[in-house]
Each structure stands twice: as structure tokens, then as C-alpha cells.
């Protein structure tokens, strides 16, 4: 299977590392914003072709699929372009900047008959999958899901400390992942929602602090705090408060209320995610986190944004 990878930032690196572990999968072209970044990425990771033109990379001989690790504002048009050329697509992080664009993507995927998958990596994380399994089998009864997402990002740098070509937005990036996680874990698209945002940064042009709250139809709560002003450990921290226990999740590990490690399968979420994408293509089936399955998340984000004003 031949793949075109668009984006040479931190997520592009994460994807290429995961793809190299999958037998029979080859990244044959990388698309970059600048010649310098494309040339350097291709040389470091052994990719035979690079280009600053997405169409050129997509149209390389034999390309089966495209992974878009590009700025979220480009996702809709780039996804539809790749689908129109008959390629399967995995689009990085939030599906798009708004609900209408998300709906356009789903419509284009249906028209093309190709697989379109959203990179909601948390759906593939062993701890969150275990929580979901326990909830749905009835051995864990959730009362309150609490998410804290903290970064110190007063300058436009990625998680590797490198300059970015686009600016993150707490709502459409980090909240999108966490809201999707709540929807997916509980299978609940009909939350009541509320949100507020702090002042907009004078240079970055985005709010630096946000809070989101949701309530499910049966009373389970979701609370999220997000900040780009936080000095300290960065990343997403999750607490599942339930009747039987409290579970704390960070990355691919989970502890119970007493701090005891919960045994899990040990597979990295990003590895499982890219395996799912390539396996769905090979097997001709809808993948977990298909674009269509993520539309309820985008509808929730749309209502949260309206609540924030």
C-alpha cells in the first residue's frame, strides 16, 4: 500500500513512525509547505519523493491513500481534493473548522466510495477503550468525566518546540478530541452543552483559556478545562469518576483510585490508529472514527461554540 503524507510537523513525524511498523505499507511522497522542510523530511525518513504541491504528491503513481497532517483550516478542501482523485483519506485532528465543512467531507466520501477517517487518536488509546468496554458491559458506572488539557503556548510552537505555520485553537483542536471522546465512550450525541472562553491573545488571535461542560440525558457529567497559559506538565489528563472506582488516564496508561496501575494491552494509540486505517482499506470496510461517525461530535462543537458567543 502506497501512501502520500501531507505535513512535516510533529504529527507528520508521528504518522511516519507508525506507518513504518506496518508490513506492506510505504510512504512514497511527502507534501510540505516549504522546499526545505520537504527535502529534510524525505531524507530523514527515506521517502523517495517530496513536493510543495499537494496535487503532485497525490498523483504519484500507485498512491492508494493520503494522510493529511496539515493545518485544520485546510482540511475540508484537501480532503475533498484527495477523495475526488480516488484516494482514501485520513485527515489529521479535527475534521474541519465547522459543521458545514464536516458535512461536505462526509458527502464527498460517500460520493467517492473511498474511506475517509478522522484522526481522533483517543478512540484508539488502550485506557479509553478499556473504560468504554467496562461502561458498555455494565461493570463501570460513570458519574463524571473530567478532562484537563494544558500547554504553555504563548508563542506559536509545536510540541517539539518548533515554529508552526498555523495557530492552534483550543476549541477546534483540543476540545474537539475530548468532546469526541465523551461522545464515543458514552455513545451519547444529545448532551446539554455550555462553554466560556477567556481573553484572546494579542498575537496568536485565539482564546488562551476555555472551559466546557456537558450533561448527558441520564445525568452523567463532562467537565473540561483547557489552557495555553499553564506552566508545568503539558498534555491531556483524564479522570473517570464512577460508582465502582475512579480511573486516571494519561497518554496510554491508567491508574485506579489508589494509584495502582491497571493492566492494558500496551499498544500505542497512534500505532493502533494507523493500523486501523490501512486495515480498513485492505478489508474494504468502514473504519473506527470514520468521518461519518464523527459528525455528532462536530454538531456538539457547533453548539458549544454558539454557547460561548
| Grid cell 494544558 in the structure block, residue | 150
Cβ-contact 39, 15 below 8 angstroms: no
Cβ-contact 226, 198 below 8 angstroms: no
Question: For 2-121+271-290, which CATH class?
Answer: alpha beta
Distance CA 16, CA 18 (A): 5
Statement: residue 163 has pLDDT above 90: no
Beta strands, E only, the chain: 2-6, 26-31, 50-51, 63-68, 88-92, 116-119, 142-150, 192-197, 209-215, 221-227, 235-242, 246-250, 253-255
* Topology classification of domain 122-264+298-308: Dihydrodipicolinate Reductase; domain 2 (3.30.360)
Distance CA 54, CA 302 (A): 29
- Condensed to tens digits (0 to 9), the pLDDT of residues 187-245 reads 999 999 999 999 999 999 999 999 999 999 999 999 999 999 999 888 899 999 999 99
Q: How confident is the model at residue 108 (pLDDT cuts 50, 70, 90)?
A: very high
Written as nine digits, the cell of 197 is 472562553
Cβ-contact 304, 207 below 8 angstroms: no
Taking residues 106-121, report their average pLDDT.
96
pLDDT score, position 9 = 87
Report how far apart, in Å, the C-alpha atoms of 45 and of each of 30, 69, 119, 139 are: 10, 16, 21, 44
Written as nine digits, the cell of 40 is 529534510
Range name among 23-27, 273-277, 302-306 with the lowest pLDDT average: 302-306
Cβ-contact 42, 48 below 8 angstroms: yes
Statement: residue 95 has pLDDT above 60: no
- Condensed to tens digits (0 to 9), the pLDDT of residues 277-286 reads 999 999 999 9
For residues 142-161, b (16+ Cβ closer than 10 Å) or e, as one string? Answer: beebbbbbbbebeebebeee
Distance CA 82, CA 61 (A): 14
Which strands, in side-by-side order, build the sheet including 88-92? Answer: 50-51, 26-31, 2-6, 63-68, 88-92, 116-119
Full-model pTM: 0.92
Q: Any idea how long the chain is?
A: 309
Q: Where are the domains of the chain?
A: 2-121+271-290, 122-264+298-308
Amino acid at each position: 500500500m502506497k501512501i502520500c503524507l501531507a505535513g512535516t510537523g510533529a504529527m507528520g513525524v508521528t504518522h511516519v513512525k507508525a506507518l513504518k511498523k506496518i508490513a506492506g505499507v510505504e510512504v512514497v511522497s511527502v507534501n510540505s509547505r516549504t522546499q526545505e522542510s520537504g527535502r529534510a523530511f524525505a531524507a530523514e525518513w527515506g521517502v523517495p519523493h517530496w513536493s510543495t504541491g499537494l496535487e503532485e504528491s497525490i498523483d504519484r503513481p500507485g498512491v492508494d491513500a493520503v494522510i493529511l497532517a496539515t493545518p485544520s483550516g485546510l482540511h475540508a478542501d484537501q480532503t475533498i481534493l484527495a477523495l475526488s482523485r480516488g484516494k482514501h483519506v485520513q485527515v489529521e485532528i479535527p475534521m474541519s473548522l465547522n459543521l458545514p465543512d464536516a458535512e461536505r467531507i462526509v458527502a464527498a466520501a460517500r460520493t467517492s466510495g473511498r474511506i475517509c477517517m478522522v484522526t481522533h487518536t483517543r478512540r484508539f488509546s488502550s485506557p479509553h477503550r478499556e473504560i468504554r468496554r467496562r461502561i458498555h458491559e455494565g461493570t463501570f458506572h460513570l458519574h463524571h468525566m473530567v478532562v484537563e488539557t494544558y500547554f504553555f503556548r504563548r508563542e506559536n510552537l509545536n510540541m517539539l518546540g518548533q515554529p508552526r505555520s498555523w495557530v492552534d485553537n483550543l476549541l477546534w483542536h483540543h476540545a474537539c478530541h475530548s468532546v469526541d471522546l465523551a461522545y464515543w465512550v458514552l455513545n451519547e450525541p444529545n448532551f446539554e452543552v455550555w462553554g466560556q472562553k477567556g481573553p484572546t491573545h494579542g498575537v496568536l488571535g485565539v482564546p488562551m483559556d476555555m472551559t466546557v461542560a456537558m450533561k448527558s440525558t441520564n445525568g452523567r457529567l463532562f467537565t473540561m478545562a483547557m489552557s495555553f497559559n499553564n506552566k508545568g506538565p503539558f498534555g491531556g489528563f483524564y479522570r473517570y469518576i464512577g460508582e465502582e472506582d475512579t480511573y486516571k488516564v494519561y497518554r496510554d496508561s491508567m491508574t485506579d483510585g489508589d494509584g495502582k496501575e491497571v493492566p492494558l494491552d500496551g499498544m500505542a494509540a497512534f500505532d493502533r490508529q494507523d493500523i486501523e486505517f490501512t486495515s480498513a482499506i485492505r478489508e474494504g470496510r468502514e473504519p473506527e472514527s470514520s468521518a461519518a461517525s464523527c459528525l455528532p461530535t462536530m454538531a456538539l462543537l457547533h453548539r458549544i461554540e454558539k454557547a460561548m458567543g
